[in-house]
A and B are shown apart, each in its own frame.
Chain A
Amino acid sequence: DGGITQSPKYLFRKEGQNVTLSCEQNLNHDAMYWYRQDPGQGLRLIYYSQIVNDFQKGDIAEGYSVSREKKESFPLTVTSAQKNPTAFYLCASSVPYSGNTIYFGEGSWLTVV
């Protein structure tokens, strides 16, 4: 089935550690996104990539890093510089010239312990 796969679903991070959230899509979409959602809040854009080997900062990029070496993959690293990383992370993708139709993965919960 076509879709967006995020892993792991649940992740625990110790203070000072970097962790990487995986996002893979087989929809052949050019654009990919990472959003953060805190409990009871809306989605905030962390990073987005419109094409392989290119990505742009969103509204809350500090403490995060990404790479886009392949069209299918857009991993997000939460670095130790992100002081409050506990949140729900959503990866998404979209097709250019489709309006703003965006497809989401099932999300990953990150908790600092």
Chain B
Amino acid sequence: LAKTTQPISMDSYEGQEVNITCSHNNIATNDYITWYQQFPSQGPRFIIQGYKTKVTNEVASLFIPADRKSSTLSLPRVSLSDTAVYYCLVGEATGRRALTFGSGTRLQVQP
């Protein structure tokens, strides 16, 4: 299983761009990279997924370098409601392997 490493916590202010990096040095060829957001006492929810280069949706961007050994979740202009824990998950496309989460990054957005 590809092990992931993320910063334990990050602080930001409203309106700033936040970049959270995840290291996954032993990522396999068939692995995708997915980011999840979790609020207290709720289940994590999907944010964005990618395989290589850059992916963008209405809430975030995901940057993946050519070697795919890391990835960066970018949240533009964060607000207080973005205060949450963010998890990076690496898993194969078939979904046949158990999905394990790391400890996540606790983002605190200040006014």
- Let me know if B98 and A45 touch, CB within 8 A: yes
With a CB–CB cut-off of 8 A, which chain B residues contact A94? 95, 99
The prevalent SS among residues of B at the interface is loop
Return the contact of B41 from the options A35, A96, A105, A107 (Cβ within 8 A).
Answer: A107
CB of A101 within 8 A of CB of B98, answer no
B95–A48 touching, CB < 8 Å: no
Per the bound structure, the CA–CA distance linking A102 and B94 in Å amounts to 12
Contacting pair B103 A97 (CB below 8 A)? no
- Indicate whether A53 reaches chain B with its CB closer than 8 angstroms: no
Q: Which of B41, B42, B49, B93 contacts A97 (CB 8 A)?
A: B93
Interface size class of B (residues with CB under 8 A): 20 to 34
Q: Using A44-B101, A96-B94, A99-B93 as known contacts, list a sample of 14 further A-B pairs with CB atoms less than 8 Å apart, ordered by residue number in A.
A: A33-B98, A42-B103, A88-B41, A94-B99, A96-B95, A97-B94, A99-B51, A99-B92, A100-B34, A100-B90, A102-B44, A102-B46, A104-B44, A105-B43
Name B residues whose Cβ lies closer than 8 Å to a Cβ of A: 32, 34, 36, 41-46, 49, 51, 85, 87, 89-96, 98-104
| Shortest beta-carbon contacts, A-B, top 8 | A104-B43, A100-B91, A99-B32, A42-B103, A43-B101, A96-B95, A48-B98, A100-B34
